[in-house]
Amino acid sequence: MKSIITALFSITSLAVVLYTYSVDYSKVLVEELKAFNYIISTQTVGAKYKFTNETNLVETARQIKDMGSNLLKFSMHPRYCTENYDLPKNDNIKSLTDLANMEPSMKTVLNMDFKYYHIWVYGFSQYSPEPEGQKNDTTQIKFIGGYPDKYEKALYQELYDFTKYLLMTYKGSGKTFYLGHWEGDWHLRWDYDRTKPADSATLQGMIKWERIRQKAIDDAKADHQTEGIEVYNYIEVNLVKKSIEQPHSITVTNSIISNVNPDYVSYSSYDATNPYKSEKELNSKLKEALDYIEAKLEPKVSLPKGKRVWIGEYGNPSIKFNDEDQDLRSKWTIKAGLEWGSPFILYWEMYNNEVNQNTKKHVGYWLINNQGKKQKIWHTHNEFYKDARSYLTDYYKKNNAIPDFDEFRQAAVKFPSLKE
């Protein structure tokens, strides 16, 4: 009898151990899947419609999450209440930290279960109120024609404080924040005329502006080291074709990146994706542009290994492409980015933000259109996330580990969701 009891006890103990191992195994896998960089995602800026009673910002963030993404890209700046996020003006909000802490919808999306955040940040300290219904960069950035010391100091302190807020508020969360800005070449040429030479005083002012943004983030990280959260700085470029064809021209790529050496660079990639009619040509031109930008960066030992340039915007508007072609051309871009090693490939965008002023028709930069229809490219994203999680689960079961970035992206190019 004693031997039988002992045997039963051993079997029970083994069952408990196996059950515990199974639960822990599953929990680890779930956490790995939540935190993994799936590379492709989208963004929400200036959407022109919505379908619920939630604010536009919260609704679109939920749509991005429901599609399967763990990355959210949006903007934080003094125009928060006028740029179609459906947010009320609050006169007590006087800084980026106030916006994060006091605006309910901003706080909601920052607290949502996203792993990665790409945020366009512009300081309240740089802002002058605009006439109603008008928008002018000179009101939001003060380096045009030169950058006065008072603005440098104010922006430094505001970004330092905001970085500190993120570090302290989200420590241990596993979140990674990339703080950057919109298409920098249009800040450098704020009249949007790419044919004119850039103003030298504005160039020097923008270099100062970019340096102070990098330094504020670096200093806050050095002074307030916390675990389980990362904050990085990035610059966004857009006139890369011009930079390559005219290597002595003044552009952000040619004239600013090497003077700042930011953590990362985002490429708003329309000049390397939209003009080309074949996958071969798009693939070649996009990789050429990414190589050209990457070559401007100097090594930074403090950063994770891998490429430091990503595709921050690409898109195929419905006024030019039907649903099938919109999807097809997007797959060309996604595959080229995966092959090159882009850390992120971000579609513009969840809801369309552009309406033709003459025809009043939506331009159609969307994953979900103004009638609530999910475009084919929405389904491609959704299926890609399913393919990715299936691949990662199988890999984890075989190797008791998650693949590294390069192994994943090389496998992802062959996912069924990207087949044409």
Distances (CA, A) of 412 to 25, 165, 339, 408: 24, 36, 9, 6
Query: Does 15 have pLDDT greater than 70?
Result: no
Query: Does 20 have pLDDT greater than 80?
Result: no
**All residues at 6 or more sequence positions from 330 whose CB lies less than 8 Å from its CB, including other chains:** 314, 315, 316, 347, 377, 380
Q: What would the pLDDT profile of 106-160 be if each residue is shown by its tens digit?
A: 999 999 999 999 999 999 999 998 887 788 888 889 999 999 999 999 999 999 9
**Side-by-side strand order, sheet with 229-237:** 40-42, 345-347, 309-314, 264-268, 229-237, 175-180, 116-121, 71-76
Query: Does 287 have pLDDT greater than 90?
Result: yes
> Is domain 36-418 given the CATH code 3.20.20.80 in the classification?
yes
Task: Provide mean pLDDT across the span 68-92.
Answer: 96
Report the amino acid identity of residue 315: G
Query: Does 240 have pLDDT greater than 70?
Result: yes
Share of the chain above pLDDT 70, in %: 94
Question: In 295-404, which ranges are continuous DSSP H helix?
Answer: 323-340, 376-399
Q: What would the pLDDT profile of 159-180 be if each residue is shown by its tens digit?
A: 999 999 999 999 999 999 999 9
Q: Say if CB 298 and CB 261 are below 8 A apart.
A: yes
Q: What would the pLDDT profile of 394-406 be if each residue is shown by its tens digit?
A: 999 999 999 999 9
Task: Provide mean pLDDT across the span 320-341.
Answer: 98
Output the pLDDT for position 130.
85
Query: Does 17 have pLDDT greater than 50?
Result: no
Report the amino acid identity of residue 145: G
Output the pLDDT for position 349.
98
Query: Does 251 have pLDDT greater than 70?
Result: yes
Query: Does 43 have pLDDT greater than 70?
Result: yes
Output the pLDDT for position 207.
98
176 membership: H or E segment, kind and range: strand 175-180
120 membership: H or E segment, kind and range: strand 116-121
CA angle 229, 226, 300 (to 5 degrees): 70
Output the pLDDT for position 102.
98
Output the pLDDT for position 18.
43
User: What are the backbone dihedrals phi and psi of residue 196, each rounded to the nearest 5 degrees, phi first?
Assistant: -85, 150
pTM for the full predicted model: 0.94
Helix (H, G, I), strand (E, B) or coil at 237: strand
pLDDT tier at 4, thresholds 50, 70, 90: low
Task: Provide mean pLDDT across the span 270-276.
Answer: 95
- Annotated domain spans of the chain: 36-418
CA angle 154, 160, 161 (to 5 degrees): 90
Measure the CA–CA gap between 105 and 56, rounded to whole angstroms.
Answer: 9
210 membership: H or E segment, kind and range: helix 200-223
More confident residue, 313 or 140: 313
Task: Provide mean pLDDT across the span 58-85.
Answer: 96
pLDDT tier at 83, thresholds 50, 70, 90: confident
